[in-house]
Amino acid sequence: MIPRNQYLNKLIKLRDNGRVKIITGLRRSGKSVLLFELYRNYLLADGVAPEQIIGLALDVLSNAKYRNPIELNKHIREQITDQKKRYYILIDEIQFVSEIPNPYLIDSEEKITFTDVVLDLMQIRNADIYITGSNSKMLSSDVLTQFRDRGDEVHVWPLSFAEFLSAYQGDKRGAWQDYYTYGGMPRIASMESHEEKSAYLRNLFSRTYIKDVLERHKIQNEAEVLGILLNIIASGIGALTNPTRLSNVFLSENRRSISPDTIELYLGYFSEAFLISKAERYDVKGNRYIKTPAKYYYSDPGLRNARLNFRQIEESHLMENVLYNDLVRRGFDVDVGVVEYNTKDSAGKSIRKQLEVDFVVNKGNDRYYIQSALNITEPEKKEQEILSLMKIPDSFQKMVIVKDYMKAWKDERGIQYVGIEQFLTDEGFLR
């Protein structure tokens, strides 16, 4: 069992707060294990009796009866037998609850849904409620919106590198390469061969993710288009793009005409399913967002590589993807930055140039500027990587994260340098 302390501690902190706890995240990222094993074990260890934990997995056939919202509500209420005891209600795959007509209102179009069940259970003063939800009927991002100010979200990512490393069975020196190649989907940690890992990741797309999006949004005969779009995004990790550019790629490489509006719609569907994340572009000096272009990152590097049949394992781009995911997982707001400055061309004419900052990282009043670089062994390469950082006029911390394992250090200009593995396993670098 891999500890998921970040998420477990969040649930512990939210315990008994009078709100529904909604566990969201990419399918197969470990939401059910978090709730029914890690959190349940915590409750038992804290003195909660087994009969005070009411757990129900609605994707199990033996619980099919409780997909009826009225039966589900009745079943749970019948188990709350002692008003002096605290009960913990754990419902997995809440989207399996059907929407049914209100049987008490004749000729009415009113429906009873899982939302009604949860809101009703929240009225029980000695009950604490936790739910997960995903798949084509009710992706977990949709579950969250049903409760708005009545719920708290705990978003679960695939294994971070630190979590992956804690369960890694081989030579630790190979962990980083395995991670950026096969990613952190929890089941991957127990697999050994490339063939087994590759088949599992590719099947997640064909049997789960693409199918979910098609069914959820009632899209007909577009599985191939969705797959091509996912491939194009995977191939362009770390590159600026927008729906118009992606539409042009479709036309030039696949001889298919897909409108930018349709592309934008499909990108939104992938984001809702937690497959990809969009990083907006931010003008550091101008303190404003640039609407287009933007960057897209996969929520798991292994899933990205599986889309391309493991043909394009560019460590620099994958390192950037891993770094983005880890920063967001830690609770930072992350943008990709641009710094504009004035200079002169070879003829002495004044021109305006743009430099990229890989990540502008914010949390509250704190800000960090981060460059991701495979190496900086050559002086020219180092100066190239830090040029954008040097053009930023404020005094927030600036950092270069490199592949090489090194002792963290700062240069005379205050820029910190740290190896990627140290950064991913020590959150103290950003305080």
At residue 137, the pLDDT reads 44
Check if the beta carbon of residue 330 is closer than 8 Å to that of residue 378: no
Mean pLDDT (10-residue bins), the chain, 431 residues: 94 96 90 96 97 93 95 96 96 88 89 90 95 60 70 93 93 93 95 96 92 87 92 94 95 89 94 93 93 95 96 94 98 95 84 93 95 89 91 94 88 94 94 76
Q: If you ran DSSP here, which 8-state letter would residue 39 be given?
A: I
% of the chain residues with pLDDT over 90: 72
Residues 6+ apart with CB under 8 A from 415: 386, 389, 398, 399, 400
Q: What is the pLDDT of residues 370-408, one digit of tens each?
A: 999 998 888 888 898 899 999 999 999 999 999 988 889
> H or E stretch including 406?
none
Residue with tokens 């897209």: 296
pLDDT tens-digit map of 114-151: 888 998 999 999 999 999 876 434 445 666 677 767 88
**Predicted local distance difference test score (pLDDT) of residue 95:** 79
| 250, 269 contact by CB (below 8 A) | no
- pLDDT computed for residue 267 by the predictor: 95
When the candidates are 3.30.70.260, 3.20.20.70, 1.10.10.10, 3.40.50.300, the CATH number that belongs to 5-156 is 3.40.50.300
Beta bridge partners, 288, equal 283
* pTM for the whole structure: 0.92
CA dihedral over 391, 392, 393, 399, signed as positive or negative: negative
Residue ranges, CATH 3.40.50.300, the chain: 5-156
Q: Residue with structure tokens 């990613």?
A: 183
